[in-house]
Amino acid sequence: MLVSQIGYYSLILGLIFSLILSVFSIKDLNSFNRKIDQNIFTFSLLQLTFVVVSFLCLIFSFVKSDFSNETVFNNSHTTKPLFYKISGTWGNHEGSLLLWLLVLTLFIFLFIIKSSNQPKKYRILTLLFQQIIIIGFFLFVLVTSNPFNYLFPIPNEGLGLNPILQDPVLAIHPPILYLGYVGSSIIFSSVLASVTQNYISSEWAKHIKKWVLISWIFLSVGIMLGSIWAYYELGWGGFWFWDPVENVSLMPWFTLTALLHCILVLERRQLLTSWVVILCIASFMLSMCGTFLVRSGILNSVHTFANDPARGIFILVFLFILIFLSLGIFFIFHKENYKDEKKFFLLSKETTILLNNWFMMYFLSVVLIGTIYPIFLDVMSTDKISVGPPFYHKLIVPFLIPFLIFMVFGSKLKWIKSEVNNKNLLVIFFIISIILSFFITKNFVRDLFLYPILIGVSLFLFFTTVVEFFNKKNVLSQTIAHFGFSLLILSILLNSILSSEIITNMRVGEKYYYDKGVIFFKKIEEKQESNFNSIVGHFKISDKRGNITNLEPELRVYNQPTIITSEADIKTTLLKDNFLVMNLVKGNEYFNIRYQVKPLMLWIWISILLISIGGMISFFKEKNEK
Amino acid sequence: MRFFKIFLLIFLFTNVTSANVEIENNNLKSKILKNIRCLVCQGQSVYDSESEFSDSIKLLVKKQIVEGKSEEQIYEFLRDKYGDWIIYDPKLNKNTYILWLLPLLLFLLGGAIMINKLKFKK
Amino acid sequence: MKNKIYLSIIITFLIFCFVIFYNGLNNPNIYTPKINKKKNIPIFEAKDFSSGANIRSGKIFEKNTFYVVNIWASWCVPCREEHELLMKLSRNKNIKLIGLNYKDNFNNAKKFLNELGNPYSQILIDKNGLLSIEFGAYGVPETFVVNKKKTIIKKFIGPINEEILSQIEKIIK
């Protein structure tokens, strides 16, 4: 209880210091010192410290199962394992907002101490713009989402966290995702500051690139973790459902990827300045918009937090204040360079980066419109429609073909002006890819048009990126990232057409014969763990080549709250995943079995890691060059 | 002997095709179920859900496939009973023209802006 | 000048979005389908609870009166709570109450009726849930009001309460 008081007042102090910091910053803007006032460093550190203290207090309350705290009561239980008590801190609305504040204050502190070689006014203005966001979130937490509400009488037991959320991957997914998602706030604040100072230049680009990389890398890994969790925990072998919450994390990724490429252009030539500004603003605005969509209750999803319209209105207003602010600054301060009529050569890296952006923005618009359109329709006509995977697939998949082809050439072309070298090699690769693709898809796909070409083009990109490793002059970060991307697309496509599934009802002791082998339902075992009882099914799957896979899916009965979950057993190997999940069939002793063979699942995760590693190499490279 | 061989061939062939038909029906059923929203769940498809409602829908779809109904007919049946909300694939009708066409329009618009604003040189 | 036009377009669009989102927040999230599309009762064949014989929908709904269709099951807890109100409703001479026994065990259902009373003039068995889907139901309990033209004019998802009961009584006057 005392801890809750400390946590609460820590937040208040944090807000107070935010305001003090803002005042000092405005003062320092007009001062003639060439260096930033030392107080500013101190106050931003203090601001961060108070948020950290508050966050630790909440963790402590969770660990001690302090049910006088309403958030702990709603989201925890004495029988939860310690690790999940801790991670339960950020697995709810209030706690995750503290995580928002933590990242916001941490990043601005890091920014201010690591940007000593940047112009003073720019640094202070970045701080000020970030403060607007920080103060907004402090108010949001204190007014609508206090994590330290007092409950009396103090309940003996909590309402428990959903057992589906008790998973190690899900535990680290929010912190990592937020480092990316919330981290784009720095890019936002920085670009606004930079525009007012007319500082959009290659120097600024070099400086902000680091922050873009950090945000992008963490966002990529965060999204990957969410998918991994969905695959191993939630689902029926799926890893992406085009659920609104998933889409919301994906949208900033599109703008950040586009931005990352444009920054490369801006670093070298004074081009695309307006577009870079727009992308920087859009990334964080999409994050804010996503936060609004997910927390306000306006959308229907399996991931949404508890709904509360008051919170929704606060975020909506806050979001639009930020949008209008950015709009205002852009139109008032931004100056385009008309006199340097730099030109684009058709065959150059700049052009392919433009093409990349063009497609990224298209993909973004598909996801954004798909997610938001039902809301618009519902308000305007009270007709409710659903927009699900078929929509996204139909609009995105065909466009992947030209996109992948452009990617092949993009990495090959040089800056400013270039020509395509090794034309012969490319042609050979292309032909091999198409033939290979035809053989792969022949037995698996109905329509002999879209998918064979798509796989052919992915293979084409794959081969060209592999070959790039042998090119002595290659840019390692780019090579790895593009290779990772081609591997990602290839794995997803091959996985989607080569996966197979058997659904059947079985009794203990039965054998089910299918075209490639037999499933033997050996026995049932009952187990007891700390907060659940489970029924484990033992299955032996033998295929015609003599390979044996043993799978043990579970049915778990949790005690608080009483939920029955079905835990799939997944055996992951380099080549494929064997996936088995079972469910009770009502009213008799049959179990409904779903057995799936899913090739290349592991490579989907590995490829995203490779993409992130490419980013990390780029991040550390500049340091060495200094 | 020849008669026996022919008989064997026909026997094997029909077995293979009936097995194929079952696999095909299962694939079609899975495809359809993934496209139907479980109306009593929070954002899950009938394929992913184990609710009573989903069980009934699964039975219905199986029955209609066996009756020979096409995928579109099954969707139409469900839309008639429950409204467009139940099917994840938004049909192209007066409600959804903007939904389907706007991204494409934006794509073309983007291309036009690029060509217009940027001066290209060979 | 061009800039100002762009700016005003963008601002108008943003205000439009804001208004939509604001209104969207106040909309209920649970989907209750519009009963503007007045639908006729489905044509079906079902097993009668008491006789065990198959009856056609035409026969069940043949009288020129209001019908109230109620989906229920012995294992459904809210159905117990609304049952008393159904008994009350069944005394109304303007309607015939038809029960749809949903995914139930025959003996359990019989016990349920013996214990709490039988308000239904006729009960149909929906063992696999398909009949409820024909009516466009989500689950149990659910209640429909059918008018003399054999159209479904009102649908209530969940157990009926006093308020819903008076609503129904008003409709059928």
Cα distance from C78 to chain B (closest Cα, Å)? 16
| B78 and B95 both lie in a single domain | no
- As a whole number of Å, the CA-based R_g of chain C is 22
The fraction of chain C above a pLDDT of 70, given in percent, is: 94
Instruction: Return the number of CB contacts < 8 Å for A and B.
Output: 110
Cα distance from B3 to chain A (closest Cα, Å)? 28
Q: Provide the number of structural domains found in chain B.
A: 2
Least confident window among A234-248, B16-30, C38-52, C81-95: B16-30
Cα distance from B87 to chain A (closest Cα, Å)? 6
Q: Would you tell me which residues 342-381 of chain A have a C-beta closer than 8 angstroms to some C-beta of chain C?
A: 375-376, 378-380
* Distance in angstroms (rounded) separating the CA atoms of residues A494 and A456: 11
Check residue A233 and give its pLDDT. 86
User: C60 with C137: CB under 8 angstroms?
Assistant: no
Q: Kindly list the structural domains of chain C, giving each domain's residue range(s) and its CATH number in brackets, ordered by start.
A: 39-171 (3.40.30.10)
Q: Would you tell me which residues 488-547 of chain A have a C-beta closer than 8 angstroms to some C-beta of chain B?
A: 501, 503, 515
| B12 and B51 both lie in a single domain | yes
User: A404 with A460: CB under 8 angstroms?
Assistant: yes
- As a whole number of Å, the CA-based R_g of chain A is 26
Residue position matching structure tokens 């479904």: C152
| B43 and B84 both lie in a single domain | yes
**B59: nearest CB among C34, C39, C128:** C128
Cα distance from C60 to chain A (closest Cα, Å)? 30
Chains that touch B (3 or more CB pairs under 8 A): A, C
Contact A298 C10 (CB under 8 A): no
| B103 and B65 both lie in a single domain | no
**B85: nearest CB among C31, C134, C135:** C31
C44 touches chain B (CB under 8 A): no
Complex ipTM: 0.88
Residues ≥6 apart with Cβ < 8 Å to A90: A96, A98, A99, A174, A175
| B28 and B72 both lie in a single domain | yes
Contact B82 C136 (CB under 8 A): yes
**A309: nearest CB among C14, C18, C26:** C26
**B52: nearest CB among C34, C103, C136:** C103
Cα distance from A372 to chain B (closest Cα, Å)? 10
Domain map of chain A by residue range?
1-166, 171-325+349-409, 501-601
| B78 and B109 both lie in a single domain | no
| B6 and B21 both lie in a single domain | yes
And the tokens for A68? Answer: 């006088």
| B58 and B83 both lie in a single domain | yes
Cβ burial of B116 (10 Å; 0-12, 13-18, 19+) is: exposed
**A379: nearest CB among C14, C24, C29:** C24
Contact B56 C129 (CB under 8 A): yes
| B84 and B99 both lie in a single domain | no
User: A458 with A466: CB under 8 angstroms?
Assistant: no
Low-confidence ranges of chain A (pLDDT < 70): 161, 235, 300-307, 337-346, 414-421, 445-448, 560-561, 587, 622-626
Contact B53 C139 (CB under 8 A): yes
The boundaries of the domain holding residue B84 are: 2-89
ω into A153 cis (within 30 of 0): yes
Instruction: Return the number of CB contacts < 8 Å for B and C.
Output: 38
Contact B26 A343 (CB under 8 A): no
Q: From the candidates C6, C17, C21, which should be mutated to test the interface with A, based on the most A CB atoms within 10 A?
A: C21
* Distance in angstroms (rounded) separating the CA atoms of residues B120 and A347: 9
And the tokens for A466? Answer: 């592999």
Q: Is the pLDDT of residue B75 over 90?
A: yes
Cα distance from C32 to chain B (closest Cα, Å)? 9
| B20 and B55 both lie in a single domain | yes
Chains that touch C (3 or more CB pairs under 8 A): A, B
For residue B71, CA distances in Å to A19, A92, A322, B32, B67 come to: 61, 40, 46, 7, 12
User: A14 with A131: CB under 8 angstroms?
Assistant: no
Cα distance from C59 to chain B (closest Cα, Å)? 22
CATH code of the domain in which B21 resides: 1.10.8.640
| B61 and B114 both lie in a single domain | no
Q: How many CA atoms does the CB half-sphere of A47 hold within 13 Å? A: 32
How far, in whole angstroms, is CA C142 from its chain's centroid?
4
Tell me what the mean pLDDT of segment C47-64 comes to: 88
Contact C31 B59 (CB under 8 A): no
Least confident window among A163-177, A442-456, B79-93, C80-94: A442-456
Burial of C34-70, coded b for 16+ CB within 10 Å and e otherwise, reads eeeeebebeebebbebeeeeeeebeebbeeeebbbbb
| B13 and B43 both lie in a single domain | yes
**C130: nearest CB among B52, B56, B82:** B56
